[in-house]
Amino acid sequence: MATVRSRQTKNEGSAPQRSIGKSLVLTILTLLLLVVLFISGQLVRREYSFHPISGTSMSPTLTEKDMVLVKKRDPIHRYDVIAFSVKGETGKFVKRVIGMPGDTMFIRNDRMVLNIGEHGDFETTYTFQLSPAVAEEFQELTKIPAGLYFTTGDHIDVSKDSRTFGFVQKKQVEGKVQFHLPSLIRKQEESE
């Protein structure tokens, strides 16, 4: 009569060495992957942030419930869209930079004439109606001071911007809008 031997009888008491080694390597690789993901997440958070858009002041460029990706510590140029905070206001503002430090300007009857030309000759200008408080604050200025920006919303008729709260300080700027994700709600409404 033939005897059938079980394969389990060889190593009944201990697990194979190869399995322990594989488990150890997989555990170390998993931990390394988690550490790399955590560090990458921290670096991304330090360089970028996301903000939702509320209101219509940047329409049609940005609309209600769009999300924007803001890159921190990026140089600001004229016509860039930036995210910033305003003292005494809640939340973040997202507006377009029109006036840069050093741009010449003058105030007449609550109106600001802003020169964006190359040589200060007022050949290329913007004119903005200011709130009386801001016009009074700007009255003595002939140039936008260093570290300050004049911003407006793209939908100028409804925008609360530098015309009502004054210049935006460089230290209040979180960063420059790099990308926006259109609202999914708006996409669904358009398809219906």
Residues annotated as catalytic are 57, 95
> ω into residue 182 within 30 of 0, thus cis?
no
Widest CA span of the chain, in angstroms?
A: 116
Rounded distance, CA 116 to CA 102, Å?
10
Rounded distance, CA 104 to CA 85, Å?
25
In one-letter notation, the amino acid at residue 120 is: G
Rounded distance, CA 65 to CA 75, Å?
26
- From residue 44, how far is each of 13, 49, 75 by CA, in Å? 49, 8, 18
Rounded distance, CA 143 to CA 141, Å?
6
For 67, counting Cβ atoms within 10 Å of its Cβ (0-12 exposed, 13-18 middle, 19+ buried), the class is: middle
